[in-house]
């Protein structure tokens, strides 16, 4: 695999198809006290760094490794869009996120789980007590967090007129299965795509409580 064009890979992966989700991270950053985030299964989605000064990205994809190897190009991409005065601090770990990682436990304010498996479970130990988990349910991770006693479901993220918003309203109406089944960890793990719920959100926000 040759050298990767950082700008081009970010553009074709996220900008061209309107998939940056920038204002979701902006909303999270302004609602919660977030200084540092962990993003397992990030691929090259460096958008959180536009709003959060310190982010650690993890992925086991070769293209992601090649992308982050060009640290100054990635720093240039981030610095064009960042919304804070300090220099961005970011790093990349080329690994399976469920393997032991050289990260301090209980040290991150935000754990990001987007389309990348059961991040909430495998990387929970790195999140502070009181820290925030942002998870979607594409691979069933939000459903997994919902039945995890260490997390409390505190808000939902929805899209209206192309903008992301956070709501704390009617939280009881989410995570009600369409079919009357017992939702278990084993079941979600086997499915790997989440079960159907009567009401869904784009993403879900949890607080780590224990
Ligand atoms: C569909 S992409 C999503 C990328 C990014 N989270 C986003 O929302 O744009 C899933 C990424 O998760 C990574 N991934 C999945 N399981 C992983 C694991 N166990 N360890 C590290 N990376 C993983 C894949 O390599 C891939 O880059």
CATH of residue 101: 3.40.50.150
189 CA from centroid of ligand 1 (Å): 16
Q: Which residue puts its alpha carbon closest to atom 25 of ligand 1?
A: 61
Tokens of 145: 């967090």
Look at residue 97 and tell me if it is in a domain: yes
Q: Is 98 in the pocket of ligand 1 (CB under 6 A)?
A: yes
115 CA from centroid of ligand 1 (Å): 7
Q: Is-contact 46 7, C-beta < 8 A?
A: no
Look at residue 173 and tell me if it is in a domain: yes
Largest CA distance in the chain: 52
Q: The domain containing residue 169 runs over which residues?
A: 6-208
Please list, in sequence order, all residues whose beta carbon lies within 8 angstroms of the beta carbon of residue 32, skipping any fewer than 6 positions away.
109, 110, 132
Report how far residue 40's alpha carbon sits from residue 155's, in angstroms, rounded to the nearest whole number. 21
What is the count of structural domains for the chain? 1
Q: Is-contact 92 65, C-beta < 8 A?
A: yes
Flag whether the pTM goes above 0.85.
yes
Whole-number pLDDT of residue 180: 85
Q: Is 117 in the pocket of ligand 1 (CB under 6 A)?
A: yes
Look at residue 27 and tell me if it is in a domain: yes
Instruction: Going residue by residue through the chain, which has 210 residues, state the pLDDT in tens, using 9 for 90 and above.
Output: 788 999 999 999 999 999 999 999 999 999 998 999 999 999 999 999 999 999 999 999 999 999 999 999 999 999 999 999 999 999 999 999 999 999 999 999 999 999 999 999 999 999 999 999 999 999 999 999 999 999 999 999 999 999 999 999 999 999 999 998 889 999 999 998 999 999 999 999 999 999
Q: From the alpha carbon of 43, which atom of ligand 1 is closest?
A: 27
Look at residue 1 and tell me if it is in a domain: no
Q: Is 141 in the pocket of ligand 1 (CB under 6 A)?
A: no
Question: Is residue 147 left, alpha or beta, with left meaning phi > 0 and alpha meaning psi from -120 to 50?
Answer: alpha
| HEC letters along 75-141 | HHHHHHHCCCCCCCEEEEEECCCCCCCCCCCCCEEEEEECCCCCHHHHCHHHEEEEEEEEECCCCCH
Tokens of 176: 């009600």
Q: Is 115 in the pocket of ligand 1 (CB under 6 A)?
A: yes
Give the mutation target among 43, 137, 139 for probing the ligand 1 site: most ligand atoms within 8 A of CB: 43
Q: Which residue puts its alpha carbon closest to atom 5 of ligand 1?
A: 42
84-101 residue pLDDT tens: 999 999 999 999 999 999
Q: Which residue puts its alpha carbon closest to atom 16 of ligand 1?
A: 116
């Amino acid at each position: 695999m040759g050298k990767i064009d950082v700008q081009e890979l970010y553009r074709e992966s996220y900008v061209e198809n309107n998939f940056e989700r920038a204002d979701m991270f902006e909303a999270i950053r302004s609602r919660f006290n977030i200084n540092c985030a962990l993003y397992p299964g990030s691929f090259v989605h460096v958008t959180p760094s536009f709003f959060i000064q310190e982010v650690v990205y993890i992925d086991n994809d070769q293209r992601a490794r090649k992308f982050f190897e060009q640290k100054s190009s990635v720093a240039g991409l981030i610095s064009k869009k960042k919304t804070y005065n300090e220099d961005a601090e970011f790093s990349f770990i080329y690994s399976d996120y469920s393997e032991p990682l050289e990260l301090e436990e209980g040290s991150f304010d935000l754990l990001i789980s987007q389309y990348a498996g059961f991040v909430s479970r495998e990387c929970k130990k790195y999140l502070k007590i009181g820290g925030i988990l942002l998870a979607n349910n594409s691979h069933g991770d939000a459903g997994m967090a919902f039945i995890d006693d260490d997390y409390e479901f505190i808000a939902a993220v929805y899209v209206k007129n192309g903008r992301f918003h956070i709501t704390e309203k009617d939280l009881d109406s989410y995570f009600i299965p369409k079919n009357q089944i017992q939702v278990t960890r084993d079941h979600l793990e086997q499915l790997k795509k989440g079960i159907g719920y009567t009401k869904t959100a784009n993403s879900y926000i949890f607080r780590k409580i224990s």
